Amino acid sequence: MARKKRKFAANGKNTHSSAKKSSSKLFMGVLMAALLVVMFFAVFSKGKVTAGMPIGEVPLNVVLKDLAGENVAIPADVKGKVVFIHFWVSSCSYCVKEMCTLESFSRKHHAEGVRAFSINAGETRHNAMRYIENLKISYPILLDPDLSVTKSYGVSGVPTTYILDREGVLRFKILGEITADKLDNIARTLL
């Protein structure tokens, strides 16, 4: 009967066992990340798979409160403007950088008719305020505590950004992080 030989490092520890523990930790980390993605999707979709709002459609007018408690209607309040609608949550690590990128972009193109909104999906005003308190964002941060707008847009993960043209028609949908280069390329087609 053949015996398995165990490899030992210079310190006398079983390297096979260490490698096995390391791959087990990696597997558990990947499993946890996948579980979080599934849970996030389940919260937004309530079990319904949705393709989201189709490109070329005009979204229904929605009214949300900003951080000051004022109502903002999209797209009604921004007719004739190019509108960037960014969905986010406070647990999103990409969203901080993305909101800062969107801030620079909207300031740069404000005179050309660009308007940006970031919609917090499903969190309290307090959590949203804490998340952005050091970001110096000048464009409106809107709250969607019951996820009604998030669901109507078909958002299944964050960050997700929708871009409406001057007629209010959805022209672009960006899943994942937006960069300054992506925004500039889009601006060239819509401004």
55 falls within a domain: no
pLDDT band at 24 (very low <50, low <70, confident <90, very high): low
Q: 120 and 37, same structural domain? A: no
Residue 170 has pLDDT above 90, yes or no: yes
Q: 107 and 170, same structural domain? A: yes
145 falls within a domain: yes
Q: 27 and 103, same structural domain? A: no
The torsion angles phi and psi of 105, rounded to 5 degrees, stand at -65, -45
pTM, two decimal places? 0.73
Residue 26 has pLDDT above 70, yes or no: no
Domain count for the chain, please give it.
2
Amino acid at 170: L
Q: 96 and 71, same structural domain? A: yes
The reported pLDDT for the residue numbered 93 is 87
Q: 84 and 19, same structural domain? A: no
Residue 21 has pLDDT above 70, yes or no: no
pLDDT band at 183 (very low <50, low <70, confident <90, very high): very high
Q: 120 and 92, same structural domain? A: yes
Q: What residues make up the domain containing 95?
A: 62-190
Give the mean model confidence (pLDDT) for residues 35-64. 63
Domain of residue 118, CATH code: 3.40.30.10
